[in-house]
A and B are shown apart, each in its own frame.
Chain A
């Protein structure tokens, strides 16, 4: 049972379709496992529908419906899209079990994998991180805003325990020293809202585990 949820502003931006792909992925992974937030998003989707209905409307070309019918006739019988895809959106993206990825060890207990290249055209840095069960990360702060979702295992810091599918947003105000709980290694997905002026000195990964 998740304890830490995205705030209503984020869910609304999600429902409106305004989030970048990496941020939408974090929300989606959480929604898949959190009925509570899913039901809030359902309500927000209905809000979008009501707003769309209450705004102006603009007439469409007289022949558009015929064009659509012609398209349906030309491209018939495309089977409905596959509904039950294997794994979650992240697993389909990295095409692997998250434990078997080519992790790069940075510290004794800490491994990382930068997957930003899977989100071309997106400015954010997207990083998977693994903190070995029982392992400690050094104390650190954050630059910029960082959104994290726990994919496996759990970690704790002074703010509490973050379990699988918990959602955390940290910024420069937050200093913490996470410790992975016993059990499976703790794996997280983090999206760092990249400040537009990234410089060469900004090369170290900034994430919940590493300064």
Chain B
């Protein structure tokens, strides 16, 4: 057990640990504090670590649900996400994804699940959400580690800061309000081509576009 993990444990419950501490640990390619906590939940069912994650991510997930038009199911979504986090935490591998990325994908999948249940007529669901949308690190074929992944969040956080507001608005609507490019265009009353070019510029700066044809 490293000193930093012990330090986290010592301060669990203290408000200071809930401050998103994005840079220091990430900079040298080590686990960030949230990933350390999540790993403790997975390895030793540590309820204090679990609670610290809940206090940090719970309110974010509740906002995510509300922004997505799931206001009347917002607390249900938070609950489902945290039950899922507890059950899957033994599969979590910090080398494959930062805790926040892993939790985002679980929130996304649980949102899709709730929407499917609400939308379902009487037809049986034949394909599971997780057959379509993957939680990072739960696929055998994935390479064990990738510096690229570890650095991704830090790089994105820094790049986002420098993006023009209009580009951030467009991608935030796609992610936080789950709107298609077309819906975003209608809402902002701008042509679809403008939405696409803002997304393209943003993703270019975030270095997501490595190779694109015809876009």
B172 interfacial contact with A, CB 8 Å: yes
Bitwise interface map of A from 49 to 88 toward B, beta carbon under 8 Å scored 1, else 0: 1111111111111001101110110000010110111000
Scan residues 126-179 of chain B and give those whose CB is less than 8 A from a CB of chain A: 126-127, 130-134, 136, 138-143, 146, 148-149, 152-153, 156-157, 160, 171-172, 174-176, 178-179
A105 within 8 A of partner (CB): no
Instruction: Classify chain B's interface size.
Output: 35 or more
Partner of A58, one of B62, B83, B140: B62
A-side binding surface: helix, strand, loop or mixed?
helix
List which B186-208 residues lie within 8 A (CB) of chain A. 196, 199-200, 203, 206-208
> With an 8 A cutoff between CB atoms, is A98 at the interface?
no
Q: Tell whether B210 is near chain A: CB-to-CB under 8 Å.
A: yes
| In the complex, B37 has a CB within 8 A of chain A | no
Whether A49 lies near B104 (C-beta < 8 A) is yes
Cβ–Cβ contact A8 & B160, under 8 A: no
User: Is A121's beta carbon under 8 Å from chain B?
Assistant: yes
CB distance from A97 to the nearest CB of B (A): 17
In the complex, what residue of chain A is closest to B181 when comparing beta carbons?
A9
Answer yes or no: A25 CB below 8 A from chain B CBs: yes
CA distance A93 to B124 in the complex (A): 13
Task: Please state if B171 and A12 are interface contacts (CB–CB under 8 Å).
Answer: yes
Report Cα–Cα, A186/B141, bound state, in Å: 25
Tell me, rounded to whole Å, the shortest Cβ–Cβ distance linking A162 to chain B: 13
Given A8-B203, A81-B130, verify A60-B91 contact (CB < 8 Å): no
Whole-angstrom distance from the CB of B211 to the nearest CB of chain A?
7
A143 within 8 A of B: no
Q: In the complex, which residues of chain A have a beta carbon less than 8 angstroms from the beta carbon of B178?
A: 16-18
A113 contacts across to B, CB distance below 8 A: none
CB neighbours of A104 from chain B (8 A): none
Distance, CA A151 to CA B70, complexed state (A): 36
B12 at the interface (CB under 8 A from A): no
Most chain A CB inside 10 Å of its own CB: which residue of B58, B149, B196: B58
Chain B proximity of A193: nearest CB distance (Å): 11
Chain B residues closer than 8 Å to A200, beta-carbon distance? none
Q: Judge whether B43 is part of the interface by a CB distance below 8 angstroms.
A: no
Does A197 count as interface, using CB distance less than 8 angstroms?
no
A residues near B141, Cβ cutoff 8 Å:
32
Measured CA separation A58–B114 after assembly (Å): 19
Is B212 among interface residues, defined by CB-CB distance under 8 A?
yes
User: A25 vs B87: C-alpha distance in the bound complex, in angstroms?
Assistant: 25
Task: Indicate if A157 sits at the interface (CB-CB under 8 A).
Answer: no
A42's partner among B59, B112, B136, B174 (CB-CB below 8 A) is B136
A182 sits at the interface (CB 8 A): no
